[in-house]
Amino acid sequence: MSTAPAASAATAAPANPRSRVITASLVGTTIEFYDFYVYATAAVLVFPILFFPTGDDTTALLSSFAVFGAAMVARPIGAVVFGHFGDKFGRKATLVASLLTMGVATFLIGVLPTYDGIGWWAALLLLILRLFQGFALGGEWSGAALVATENAPKGKRAWYGTFPQLGAPIGFIIANGIFLVINFALPHPDGPAQRSDAFLEWGWRVPFLFSAVMVIIGLWVRLKLVESETFAKAEKSGAIRKFPLGEVVRRHWWQLILGTFIMLATYVLFYLMTSFTLSYGTKAGLEAAEQAAAEAGTAFDAAAYVPGLGFGYTDFVIMQIVGVVFFGIFTLLSGPIADALGRRKLLLWITAAIAVFGLTFNVFLLPQVDPKFTGALVQAFLILGFMLMGATFGPMGAILPELFPTNVRYTGSAISYNVSSILGAALAPIVAVALWAATGGSPWLVGVYLTGASVLTFVALWLSKETKDVDYDTFIGAEERASR
Average pLDDT over every residue of 251-276: 93
Report CA Rg, the chain: 23
Give the DSSP letter of residue 13: P
How far apart CA 106 and CA 130 sit, in angstroms, is 8
How far apart CA 171 and CA 19 sit, in angstroms, is 20
Give residue-wise pLDDT tens across range 292-343. Answer: 777 777 777 777 788 888 898 788 989 999 999 999 999 999 999 999 999 9
415 has pLDDT over 70: yes
202 has pLDDT over 70: yes
371 has pLDDT over 50: yes
Give the DSSP letter of residue 202: I
**Would the CA dihedral through 216, 266, 422, 322 be positive or negative?**
negative
| pLDDT score of 239 | 65
- Taking alpha carbons only, the member of 115, 121, 119, 108 closest to residue 39 is 108
| pLDDT score of 377 | 96
16 pLDDT band (50/70/90 cuts)? low
Render the burial of 218-237: b for 16+ CB within 10 Å, e for the rest: bbebbeebebbbbbbbbbeb
- Taking alpha carbons only, the member of 127, 162, 138 closest to residue 32 is 138
Residue 341: count other Cβ atoms within 10 Å of its Cβ: 16
| pLDDT score of 235 | 67
Residue 369, classified by CB atoms within 10 Å of its CB into exposed (0-12), middle (13-18) or buried (19+), is: exposed
How far apart CA 262 and CA 416 sit, in angstroms, is 9
| pLDDT score of 479 | 55
| pLDDT score of 2 | 43
- Taking alpha carbons only, the member of 50, 96, 105, 42 closest to residue 74 is 105
Give the DSSP letter of residue 464: S
Rounded to 5 degrees, what angle do the CA atoms 412, 449, 463 make? 40
196 pLDDT band (50/70/90 cuts)? low
Give the DSSP letter of residue 226: -
Q: At a CB cut-off of 8 Å and minimum separation 6, what does 298 contact?
A: none
7 has pLDDT over 70: no
451 pLDDT band (50/70/90 cuts)? very high
201 has pLDDT over 50: yes
146 pLDDT band (50/70/90 cuts)? confident
14 has pLDDT over 70: no
Give the DSSP letter of residue 310: -
- SS3 of the chain: helix, strand, coil, percent, to 5: 75, 0, 25
Average pLDDT over every residue of 20-38: 80
* Nearest-10 Cα torsion for 66, 256, 95, 160: 110
How far apart CA 261 and CA 454 sit, in angstroms, is 9
| pLDDT score of 54 | 66
How far apart CA 189 and CA 170 sit, in angstroms, is 32
Percent of the chain clearing pLDDT 70 (strictly above):
90
Who wins on pLDDT, 41 or 274?
274
| pLDDT score of 55 | 63
Q: Tell how far CA 114 is from the center of its chain.
A: 26
The reply to whether the predicted model has a pTM over 0.85 is no
Cα→Cα distances 141→47, 146, 384, Å: 26, 9, 25
Give residue-wise pLDDT tens across range 376-396. Answer: 999 999 999 999 999 999 999
Q: What are phi and psi of 284, to 5 degrees?
A: -65, 150
140 pLDDT band (50/70/90 cuts)? confident
Instruction: Render 163-193 in DSSP notation, one character per residue.
Output: HHHHHHHHHHHHHHHHHHHHHHHS--TT-TT
